[in-house]
Amino acid sequence: MSAVETQDQQVTGPFLGVTRSAGGHVWKDRLEPSRIHMAMNISQQHQVPEVLGRILASRLSPDEDVAVFLDPSIKNLMPDPHSLQDMEKAAGRIAAAMENGEALVIYGDYDVDGGTSSALWKRFLSAHNTGCRIYIPDRMSEGYGPNAAAMQQLVADGAQLIITVDCGSTSHEALQAVADTDCDVIIIDHHQLGEDFPPCYALVNPNRPDDLSGQGDLCAAGVVFLTLAAVVREMRSRGFYNERRKAPDLLQLLDLVALATICDVVPLTGLNRAYVHKGLQVMRHRRNAGLRALADVAGLQEAPNAYHLGFILGPRINAGGRIGNAALGAQLLSCDDDLEARNIAEQLDRYNSERKAMEGVMLEEAVAAADQMIEKDPELPLVITGSPDWHKGLVGLLASRLCERFKRPALAIAWEGGGEGTGSARSVQGVDIGAAIRAAVEKGLLVKGGGHAMAGGLTVLESQYEALGAFLRERLAEAREQASCGSDLLIDGALTPRAASEELLKQLEMAGPWGSGNPPPRFVFPAHHVNFAKIVGNGHVRCTLQAGDGSRIDAVAFRSADTEIGALLLNNNGTPLHIAGSLKLNSWGGRTKVEMIIDDVADPRLNRG
C-alpha cells in the first residue's frame, strides 16, 4: 500500500465503509471530491509529495496562497495594528507613560495566556528601561479578572496607568471603582463582550462588536503582540529610537506568543499559525530563561513542538494558578536569572503533580454523576456536575475531560460556603457556550460570567442552580443536536506501519504546526491486528498494531480504558480492526520512533459498506 491511499467509493461514501465506529463516528475522507485536482496541482506545482498535496488541498481556503501557507511569515500575515479599534489611542497613551516614567501596572489573568501576556509587557518595557508591576489575582480569593478592591489598592499604591491583559472586557464594576481617579485603564483582551463597554481609556479587543479588523481568533498574547508593534511605531514617530537606542526585536518574543496561542486553543490559521510557526523557531534557541528551565524540569530533551507546548509546558504554568501561587507563571516567563527560573520551574512542576492527583479523584466522581444523567436522558445537551469537595482551580480541567468524554458541552462547579459556586464550562464545535453564559448573566441567573465559543467561567448562587441548568440546556439543545448530527471523523488516507516513517512525518510537518483549526493528519491503519494491549498510566491503553506484511507500530489511546474504544483494543480476540489516529515522533533514551495516537477504532465486521 502506498504512503497515502484512498478508494473510489470513499469519495462519495464512508471511508472503508465505516458508519459505526467505537467512538460513535462515521468515517469520511477529509479531501472533498471537488478538491482532488487541486491536490494534484499543489503537488506538481510546488514539488511536494502527493500526501502533502492532499493535506494542503483539504485545509486551504480557496483564496489562500500555498507558498504563504508553507512558509507562514509574520510579515505576510500580520495586519496593520491600527486596524483594531482603539489601538492607536492605546499605543499613544502607553508611549506617553513610557516617556514620562509613569507608574505602570500590568493586570493579568492567571492562566497561560494571561501569564505570557504579562511577561510580554514586562520584557518589552524592560527593553526600554521602563519598570512595571505585574498583578495576577489569586484564583481562590479574587477570581477571574479585575476586582474593585484590587484596582483601588493599585491606584492607592500610585499606579498611573493599568493595562489589563486577557481580562477586563466585562469588568464594569471593578473599572467603575477607579473611573474617577487619575489612573487610566487600558484593556487588551480577546474575550467576547456585549455592546456595553466598561469605563476605560481604551479597549483593544478584536471581538468587540464594532471592531472590523477580522482578528477575532487571536488569543490575548496575540493581541498584545500587535499592541507592542503599535507602541514601537508610536515611539519611532516620537523620535525615541536613534543610533544608540534601537527598537527591540519583537520577533524574539514570539516564543511566548506561540505558547499562549497553543494553550488557549485558538484556531491555527492565518496570523495565529505564523505566530506558532515562528515562535517555535525562537523557542528552539532556548533564550528565555523561564521556558528553558521549565523544559529541563519537565524532561523535554528535544526541540519543542505544538504538542509539547500544549501538554508539557502549558499545564505546568497553569498549575500555579490552579492550586498554588497564581503569579508564578508570569514570574517564570519574565525571569532572566537561571537560578530563580529553576526554582520557580521546580515549584510549578510539583504543583502540576499535585494537580494530577486531585484531578483524578474529582474526575471519577464527575464521570459517575454524568453517567447517571445521560442514562436518564441520552440526548442531554449539557452535562452539569458539582461538588463542595472540589477544588475550584481544577473545574476547568474537569469540564474539559467531561466534554471530551461525553462529546457534549460540560459545566463543572465547585460549591463554596455561603451558597455560591465557581464554575467552568467547555464546549464542542458549533455550540457557543460563551454566548450562553452571557445570556444567563443578562437573565439574572449568574452573579457573573463570560467566555468565548469554546469555554467560559461563571459564578452562580446555589439558589439559581436549577434555573441555570434549565436555561442553558434549553438554549444549547438545538445547536448541540446539529453538532452531534455532524459527528464525522475526517480521514486523510490509509497507511501501513512500513509507510509511517520519520521521513513521512518530516514531509507532513511542512503543513504544520498542528492544532485547533489546522488538525493533524489522521490516517487509518486498515485491518490491523492488535498485539500486547494493556492499560498504562491514568486509564490509557497502549498496544502494538501489526499489518499483514508483518510491519508493526506502537500506539496509545489516551484515557480510553473504560470506553468502547478501549474495550475493542483490550478484548480483541485476534479480529483485525480499522484503527484511526495521528502520528508522532517519540524520542526516548536516545532513540526516535514513530508512534500512533489512536482517535477511533472500528470493527470491519460491523462496517461492510
pLDDT tens track for 302-331: 899 999 999 999 999 999 988 889 999 999
331 lies in the same domain as 450: no
Q: What is the pLDDT of residue 390?
A: 95
Cβ atoms of 125 and 148 closer than 8 Å: no
Residue 407 to residue 163: CA distance in whole angstroms: 37
**Domain end point (choices 454, 486, 518):** 486
- The verdict on 579 and 455 lying in the same domain is no
DSSP-assigned beta bridge partners for residue 426: 410, 455
Q: Tens digits of per-residue pLDDT, 269-305?
A: 999 999 999 999 999 999 999 999 999 999 998 899 9
pLDDT tens digits for 16-48?
999 989 998 899 999 999 999 999 999 999 998
Alpha-carbon distance of 463 to 448, in angstroms, equals 15
Tell me if 430 sits within 8 A of 486, measured CB to CB. Answer: yes
Total count of domains within the chain: 3
Domain match, 266 and 286 both: yes
Q: pTM of the full predicted structure?
A: 0.87
Whether residues 88 and 21 share a domain: the answer is no
> What pLDDT does 12 receive?
57
**Mean per-residue pLDDT, 173-194:** 95
**288 and 339 housed in the same domain:** yes
* 371 domain-assigned: no
**Which of 459, 486, 513 delimits the end of a domain?**
486
pLDDT of the residue at 2: 43
Q: Tell me the pLDDT band of 187, cut-offs 50, 70 and 90.
A: very high
Q: How many CB atoms lie within 10 A of CB 236?
A: 12
C-alpha 132/C-alpha 159 separation (Å) is 10
The fraction of the chain above a pLDDT of 70, given in percent, is 97
C-alpha cell at 324: 498554588
What is the Cα 552 distance to its own chain's centre? 32
Residues 6+ positions from 32 with CB-CB distance below 8 Å: 58
In a domain, 196, yes or no: yes
**Domain harbouring 448, CATH code:** 3.10.310.30
Nearest alpha carbon to residue 78 among 254, 256, 209: 254
Q: Are residues 598 and 563 in the same domain?
A: yes
Q: What are the helix (H) ranges across 5-145?
A: 8-12, 36-45, 50-59, 66-70, 74-77, 87-100, 112-127
117 and 253 fall within a common domain: yes
- 13 or 299, which is more confident: 299
Residue 560: domain span: 8-59+492-606
Q: Average pLDDT over the chain, rounded to whole?
A: 92
- Whether residue 227 contacts residue 253, with contact meaning beta carbons closer than 8 Å, is answered with no
* Sign, CA torsion 470/472/473/477: positive
Instruction: Please state whether beta strands 488-491 and 552-557 pair in parallel, antiparallel, or not at all (unpaired).
Output: unpaired
Question: Do 48 and 124 sit in the same domain of this protein?
Answer: no
50 shares a domain with 97: no
482 and 497 share one domain: no
Asked if residue 565 is part of any domain, the answer here is yes
Q: What is the CATH number of the domain that holds 543?
A: 2.40.50.460
Furthest C-alpha separation in the chain? 76
- HEC letters along 381-441: CCEEEEECCCCHHHHHHHHHHHHHHHCCCEEEEEEECCCEEEEEEECCCCCCHHHHHHHHH
Q: Are residues 39 and 55 in the same domain?
A: yes
pLDDT for 8:
41
Q: Are residues 240 and 323 in the same domain?
A: yes
Q: For residue 363, what pLDDT band results from cuts at 50, 70 and 90?
A: very high
Would residue 551 count as lying in a domain? Answer: yes
Nearest to 91 by CA among 115, 112, 119, 121: 121
Using pLDDT thresholds of 50, 70 and 90, give the confidence band for residue 6. very low
DSSP string, 539-574: TEEEEEEE-TTS-EEEEEETT-TTSHHHHHHHS--S
Q: What is the pLDDT of residue 517?
A: 87
Question: Which of 329, 349, 369 finishes a domain?
Answer: 349
Kind plus residue range of the DSSP H or E element containing 200: none
Element (H, E) at 336: none
List % helix, strand, coil for the chain (3-state, nearest 5): 45, 20, 35
Domain-located, residue 2: no
Look at residue 4 and tell me whether its pLDDT is greater than 70.
no
In a domain? residue 365: no
In a domain? residue 307:
yes
